[in-house]
């Protein structure tokens, strides 16, 4: 994949994820104490506003969640989506409807999420360019520890995958990463989920079961026809086998582009603005969690 030109000299680094290799000197404020799946998205919504206003430099957010299923808006409109979400919650899987593009995605400690939060500094935004930019960073991050695997990564929609899109990243036809975007008035962010460890097939089964329950056998509905065998983790594909290794690769890939990574100075998910943003997202896009 062609290396993209980078135009930002420095970026604030914010990390909220579980696992080995986390450094307490990076301004991290921990993972999700109450498991609220909307908090990472609310944090990015809040931080994106700060980037747009100039209160924060362009930023990078790396995070994970203990266990949840993030739905797209169309997923939440399936006839039995509420019942399917309630059953997942009863089984200990948190659910939420996210505001960025895409469809249902399982999130757990083996899935590392990364977002680039950028000001609208260019005269004409090109979302294809921004998708390619994040994709190139992910490929470079994999190459830090596993260059042979990185050389085999291809971009393009993987039919049968969950949350399919034009910029799916895959090895030998098995998807490990999807990319979505969210825009505000003065800034935007490009977000990717990366399946690092564990079974891609099992996660695909989880999404397939959700759609079966949410659709309730109704015909003529539009939702991804998931084939679990199309999904894999980087560990299964010969790449980095731990979120910590990939997170280090992401930092090094950005630094290699000449980007100075600055400590994120924020109150993290405990920030009252973030909590308020989560409630707004809950009311606007989904149901209120009990």
Q: Is the dihedral of CA 42, 65, 195, 147 positive or negative?
A: positive
CA dihedral (146, 147, 148, 152) positive or negative: positive
206, two tokens = 């989880």
Catalytic, out of 31, 48, 163, 177: 163
48 catalytic residue (yes or no): no
Among residues 19, 12, 32, 37, the alpha carbon closest in space to that of 88 is found at: 37
Alpha carbons 105 and 96: distance in angstroms, whole number: 10
Distance (Å, whole) CA 137 – CA 43: 22
**DSSP for 145-205?**
H-HHHHTTEEES--TT-SS--TT-EEETTEEEEEEEEEE-SSEEEEEEEEE-SS-HHHHHH
* Count of CA atoms in the C-beta half-sphere (13 A) of 243: 24
What residues act catalytically?
163
């Amino acid at each position: 994949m062609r290396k993209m030109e980078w135009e930002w000299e420095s970026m604030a680094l914010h990390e909220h994820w579980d696992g080995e290799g986390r450094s307490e000197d990076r301004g991290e404020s921990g993972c999700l104490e109450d498991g609220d799946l909307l908090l990472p998205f609310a944090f990015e919504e809040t931080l994106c506003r700060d980037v747009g206003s100039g209160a924060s430099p362009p930023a990078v957010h790396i995070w994970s969640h203990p266990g949840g299923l993030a739905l797209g808006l169309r997923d939440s409109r399936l006839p039995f989506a509420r019942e399917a979400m309630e059953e997942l919650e009863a089984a200990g899987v948190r659910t939420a409807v996210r505001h960025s593009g895409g469809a249902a995605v399982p999130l757990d400690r083996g899935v590392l999420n990364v977002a680039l939060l950028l000001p609208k500094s260019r005269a004409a935004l090109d979302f294809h360019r921004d998708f390619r930019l994040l994709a190139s960073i992910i490929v470079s991050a994999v190459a830090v520890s596993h260059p042979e695997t990185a050389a085999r990564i291809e971009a393009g929609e993987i039919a049968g995958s969950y949350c399919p899109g034009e910029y799916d990243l895959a090895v030998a036809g098995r998807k490990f990463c999807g990319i979505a975007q969210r825009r505000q008035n003065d800034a935007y962010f490009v977000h990717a989920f990366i399946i690092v460890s564990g079974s891609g097939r099992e996660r695909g089964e989880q999404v397939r079961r959700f759609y079966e329950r949410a659709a309730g056998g109704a015909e003529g509905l539009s939702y991804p026809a998931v084939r679990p065998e199309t999904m894999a983790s980087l560990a299964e594909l010969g790449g980095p086998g731990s979120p910590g290794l990939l997170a280090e690769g992401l930092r090094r890939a950005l630094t290699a582009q000449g980007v100075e990574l600055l400590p994120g100075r924020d109150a993290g998910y405990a920030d009252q603005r973030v909590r308020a943003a989560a409630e707004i997202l809950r009311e606007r896009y989904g149901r209120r969690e009990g």
